[in-house]
A = this chain, B = another copy of it.
């Protein structure tokens, strides 16, 4: 069974001060996108770097999630440390994801440049930081998801099939 990790990083959501709309928005979007059956591994944690790191490691190494998406903690505030945690546990960084997400969000708000989102690879898992706001999540996922199944092929993960009517994923033809 294909597993995908969803990590909501938020002091307030983790304390139950408000509902985790963002995490559920990611799960809904992935359900929309994917024909392949998948199982979510879902956690809501506070903005603590060591906790974000250990949660990513757990989902990558133990749960064998091929994709791990985070939401929250990518801004400039002192408690925003998701990109630092991501970089600390990744073998290699994928700068193109953050660049494209910021570019897309810039069409909506000039504060998109404050988002420090990144992505990277740990073993056979792709980790992608998404923004915290539900509206921006879908915009960003629509932008980067077309490249994700092929990325997972390249890191020897499972073959993900997407619903072409919802999202067009791209795989280059074999040489």
Which residues of A does B touch, CB under 8 Å?
A: 75-78, 80-81, 83-84, 92-100, 102-103, 106, 109-116, 121, 126, 144, 146-147, 150-151, 154-156, 169-172
Contact = CB atoms under 8 A, between A and B. Distances in A.
Q: Which of A95, A98, A112, A154 has the most CB of B within 10 A?
A: A95
Q: Which of A83, A154, A170, A171 has the most CB of B within 10 A?
A: A154
Nearest to A81: B92
A97 B102 CA distance: 10
Contacts of A96: 102, 112-116
A34 B144 CA distance: 37
B94 A114 contact: yes
A91 B100 CA distance: 24
Contact of A113 (B77, B94, B121, B155): B94
Contacts of A126: 76
A93 B81 CA distance: 11
B109 A76 contact: no
B98 A95 contact: yes
Contacts of A169: 110
A116 B100 contact: no
A75 B109 contact: no
A138 to B, nearest CB: 16
12 contacts: A75-B154, A76-B92, A77-B154, A81-B92, A95-B95, A95-B116, A96-B113, A103-B103, A110-B169, A111-B151, A111-B172, A112-B147
Contacts of A99: 95, 99, 102-103, 113
